[in-house]
Structure 1
Amino acid sequence: MTTLLLARHGLTHLTGPVLAGWTPDLHLSEAGRAQAEALAVRLGPLELDAIVSSPLDRCLETAGAVAAGRETEVVTDERFGECRYGDWTGRPIAELAKDPLWRVVQSHPSAVTFPGGESLAAVQHRAVAAVREWNERLGPRGVYLVCSHGDVIKAIVADAMGLHLDQFQRITADPASLTAIRYTPLRPFVLRLNDLGGEVTGLRPPEEPQEGAEEKGGGQNLTESDAAVGGGAGTT
């Protein structure tokens, strides 16, 4: 029952109007630093078994704010790095929206390979492989944070929800937002999506099985992988 917390980096001066990609020396703006500090405060009550970051500065700075005052240090994993947009890197979004490839990115992203860059399918493959590896490393009670980028987070969420990559544009990951996915032996559960507020203590799984978790109901032995039919009572 490993719990993955996905945080998108805070704002930079390019976020929004420009496709930043792997633009070097791109740091958080003043607003982005404030977002990172607010995220750190939100996550303060939650013990984290690992803090993992994309190697890009804007993610390292966001993850660093969360790590401040903790014994857990930030480690980098390039597989959580931004999509390599190739020739699109550093170009204004308004300009890219006129490119014929833009419509393919919007409607059929699984078919897209950016000129001089990588495919969105490859981005999803490397990111999901990294999640699987970290889940195995940290074990079934692990709770860890990954600070990454919008398209990478959306690709991981699409996989967790069993969606084809062509549907990942229906998912949103705002700057400094938090998405939580709990991985069980049978299926992942998306606990939070693009969350910008609220307490987080309930995101750590219980040390002991919940009352009734091993009771039989309807001829079926209920486990941590079972969905709550009817919605359940939540974590509070």
Structure 2
Amino acid sequence: MSGPTIVLVHGAFADSASFAPVTRALLDQGHRVVVPAVPNRSLLADSAYVRSIVEGVDGPVVLVGHSYGGAVITVAGAAENVVGLVYLAGYALDEGESLGALQGGFPDSELAANLVYTPFPVPGGEDGTDVSVAVDAFPDVFAAGVDRTTTEVLAVSQRPLAALAFGEAAPVAAWKTTPAWGIVSAADRTINPDVERFGYQRGGFRAVVELDAPHLVMLSHPQDVVAFITDAVTELDRKDQS
């Protein structure tokens, strides 16, 4: 199939496997798909890493970011071959804005009271701090709406996010120059859905869809997510051909 490569960018407390149903469906449809493992060490470093992957793709790319991955694609999406951005329950940061600043403008979600902070060693420097979700709260707060036996596995295999990422300001907001689409998870207990709505409205996104879905929308509603991504790709293809 012709068209852009779809790069799926996971968020905090998750990994590339969180996109498994969506990845499978996109591959079955013939799309080229890349699903990198985001280090989750800092917004700037993670964005630079994802951008390096994007720039290694031959041809145009549509970047899809879930949750913190939305912040990552906001910065990495400045790569010249990125033609579209798709946010899934994601943070659409403005230039000069941090995750903490954007979240701070809205009431906390249930996640805030269920975070765990753990030091990790940094060679040659002070210890960093990993942020993760309390294992007992993970199924209901982070992964509500997903099969319980699956969420229990996800809870003990989550990929933490370094606290540094929350305070780093985005040096660029790619949605200002690149078409963007967004899904709001209206039943999100991890990110206040108003944070998602605000970012998408501010960015003048091409299309915004609200789903009665939890935070892990790509696991709970994979068919809706696939349809949303492919609709964006189709719109871009039509624009390119006109």
- TM-score tier by shorter-chain length is 0.3 to 0.5
**Greater share of residues in helix:** 2
TM-score w.r.t. length of structure 2? 0.33
